């Protein structure tokens, strides 16, 4: 078994930590799937490595985390009748997707026993199944009328860690939702809430006022999924709460840009996370998270390295995942990227800052190479090479 992996000649190392987005280091040492050292190659025992990845001066960042996905079971989405959509997203540099609710299950049960069973099944199934090596945090319970505190206790014990978007099930108004949200939090779950216009028949339109009264952890798609709240509501959520604020690809791009400017003014960059919100009516978008990073970094004052932290360390913090940042003891989920061929940018970050999707040339999970060249991004100018000593 390969346990010692060295990454050397890193040109730029994005940390995932928004307070210090770029690290002064050119090498990473990985052992048994975890990052063990971050620093200078001269301080590492190159001869002891079992695999050496020469990054050729390119950019390394934590694997991207998609904070908003609607899987069901397996690597198939009934929403768009598409196979392999999770593996496709992995080729967009995403190493973890977080379920926002298995809402697209055909015939989805809407009684307490059924919604609970679905969450437990999805959580346990995805704990054992990694499409292409991608980590899926599955099993996000959809709140339905009739759930009681013991249900949350049981689900937590069985591995359910997320409440999918509040508002997708029969529990809609804050009076019904707030007690359930409190039980979920008490049992260690992270709670997201659909915000904005109605997404699918049977779900609801949610205003800032309702979000504030319900008190989730995350304002799902502040920029709409796909229909956004008003800018007055955006302002309320940014300035009057400390909630985590999510931008999604399948949302309203103008509200994303306007909201991002407001967030910069209020110094709230640490509260922003990035999701895809696919599969949805907008489709399946393998490069959705990378595209939001490019939109934010090219159309707003947010820097490219900050936008990457919004799709890595910010998300792992709110979901309590041991990944998403470059630090000792963290899971070695990594993306190696560079400017795409033909870009006016000369490295990944400068390409992103002009709005070009970077070329992903390698993806690792737990220190193992799971993508050696992305089939979905344009080709990178410089490619890492693998050397086995």
> What is the side-by-side order of every strand in the sheet holding 140-141?
140-141, 162-166, 190-194, 218-220, 244-248, 272-275
Which is nearer to Zn ion, 225 or 324 (by Cβ)? Answer: 225
Q: Which is nearer to Zn ion, 222 or 287 (CB)?
A: 222
Alpha-helix runs per DSSP H in 204-303: 208-214, 231-239, 253-265, 288-299
Q: How far is the CB of 65 from Zn ion (least distance, A)?
A: 18
Residue 277 · residue 225 · CB < 8 Å: yes
Distance set, CA 43 to CA 33, 38, 56, 212, 272 (Å): 20, 10, 19, 50, 35
Beta carbon of residue 24, minimum distance to Zn ion (angstroms, whole number): 39
- 164 or 345: whose CB is closer to Zn ion? 164
Measured from the CB of residue 342, what is the shortest distance to Zn ion in angstroms? 36
C-beta of 28 vs 103, nearer to Zn ion: 103
Report the alpha-carbon distance of residue 212 to residue 238 in Å, rounded: 11
Give the whole-angstrom CA distance, residue 366 versus residue 376: 22
Question: What distance in Å separates the CA atoms of residue 105 and residue 83, rounded to the nearest whole number?
Answer: 15
Q: How far is the CB of 80 from Zn ion (least distance, A)?
A: 16
Residue 220: CB minimum distance to Zn ion, A: 5
Q: How far apart are CA 306 and CA 133, in angstroms?
A: 26
How far is the first Cα of the chain from the last one, in angstroms, to the nearest whole number? Answer: 15
62 versus 225: smaller Cβ distance to Zn ion: 225
Least distance to Zn ion from the beta carbon of 329, Å?
34
Cα→Cα distances 87→17, 33, 288, Å: 26, 20, 14
CB-nearer residue toward Zn ion: 95 or 199:
199
Nearer to Zn ion, 12 or 115 (CB): 115
CB of 225 to Zn ion, least distance (A): 4
Starting at the edge strand found earlier in the chain, the sheet holding 135-137 runs 64-69, 94-99, 135-137
Distance CA 193, CA 211 (A): 7
- Which lies closer to Zn ion via its Cβ, residue 16 or residue 225? 225
Sheet of 4-8, strands arranged across:
34-39, 27-31, 4-8, 51-54, 385-387
- What is the smallest separation between the CB atom of 168 and Zn ion, expressed in angstroms? 7
Site of interaction with Zn ion (CB under 5 A): 165, 194, 199, 225
- Residue 39's φ and ψ, nearest 5 degrees, are 170, -135
CB of 346 to Zn ion, least distance (A): 38
Which residue do the tokens 């800018």 mark?
A: 231
Residue with tokens 């990378």: 290
Of 88 and 199, nearer to Zn ion (C-beta) is: 199
Q: Which residue is nearest to Zn ion (CB)?
A: 225
What residues contact residue 101 under an 8 Å CB cut-off, 6+ apart?
70, 140, 141, 142, 164, 165, 168
CB of 123 to Zn ion, least distance (A): 20
Q: Which is nearer to Zn ion, 102 or 331 (CB)?
A: 102
């Amino acid at each position: 078994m390969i346990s010692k992996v060295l990454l050397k000649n890193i040109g730029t190392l994005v940390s995932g930590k928004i307070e210090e987005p770029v690290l002064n280091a050119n090498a990473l040492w990985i052992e048994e799937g975890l990052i063990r050292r971050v620093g200078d190659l001269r301080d590492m025992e190159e001869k002891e490595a079992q695999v050496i990845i020469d990054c050729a001066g390119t950019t390394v960042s934590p694997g991207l985390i998609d904070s908003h996905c609607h899987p069901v079971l397996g690597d198939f989405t009934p929403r768009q009748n598409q196979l392999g959509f999770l593996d496709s997203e992995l080729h967009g540099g995403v190493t973890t997707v977080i379920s926002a609710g298995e809402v697209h299950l055909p015939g989805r049960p809407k009684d307490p026993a059924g919604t609970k069973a679905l969450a437990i099944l999805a959580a346990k199934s995805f704990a054992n199944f990694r499409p292409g090596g991608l980590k899926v945090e599955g099993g996000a319970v959809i709140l339905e009328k009739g759930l009681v505190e013991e249900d949350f206790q049981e689900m937590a014990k069985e591995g359910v860690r997320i409440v999918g978007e509040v508002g997708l099930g029969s529990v809609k108004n804050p009076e019904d939702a707030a007690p359930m949200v409190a039980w979920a939090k008490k049992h260690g779950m992270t709670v997201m809430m659909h915000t904005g216009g109605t997404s699918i028949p049977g779900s609801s339109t949610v205003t800032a006022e309702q979000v504030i009264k319900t008190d989730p952890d995350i304002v799902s798609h502040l920029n709409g999924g796909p229909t956004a709240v008003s800018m007055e509501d955006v302002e309320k959520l940014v300035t009057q709460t400390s909630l985590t604020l999510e931008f999604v690809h399948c949302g309203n791009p103008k509200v994303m840009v306007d909201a991002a400017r407001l967030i910069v003014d209020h110094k709230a960059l640490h509260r922003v996370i990035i999701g895809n919100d696919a599969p949805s009516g907008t489709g399946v978008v393998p490069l959705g998270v990378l595209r939001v990073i490019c939109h934010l970094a090219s159309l707003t004052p947010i820097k490219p390295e900050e936008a990457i932290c919004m799709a890595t360390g910010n998300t792992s913090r709110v979901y309590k995942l041991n990944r998403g940042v470059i630090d000792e003891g963290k899971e070695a989920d990594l993306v190696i990227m560079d400017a795409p061929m033909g870009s006016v940018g000369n490295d990944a970050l400068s390409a992103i800052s002009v709005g070009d999707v970077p070329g992903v040339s390698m993806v690792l999970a737990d220190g193992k190479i799971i993508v050696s060249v992305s089939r979905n991004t344009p080709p990178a100018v410089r490619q890492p090479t693998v050397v086995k000593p």
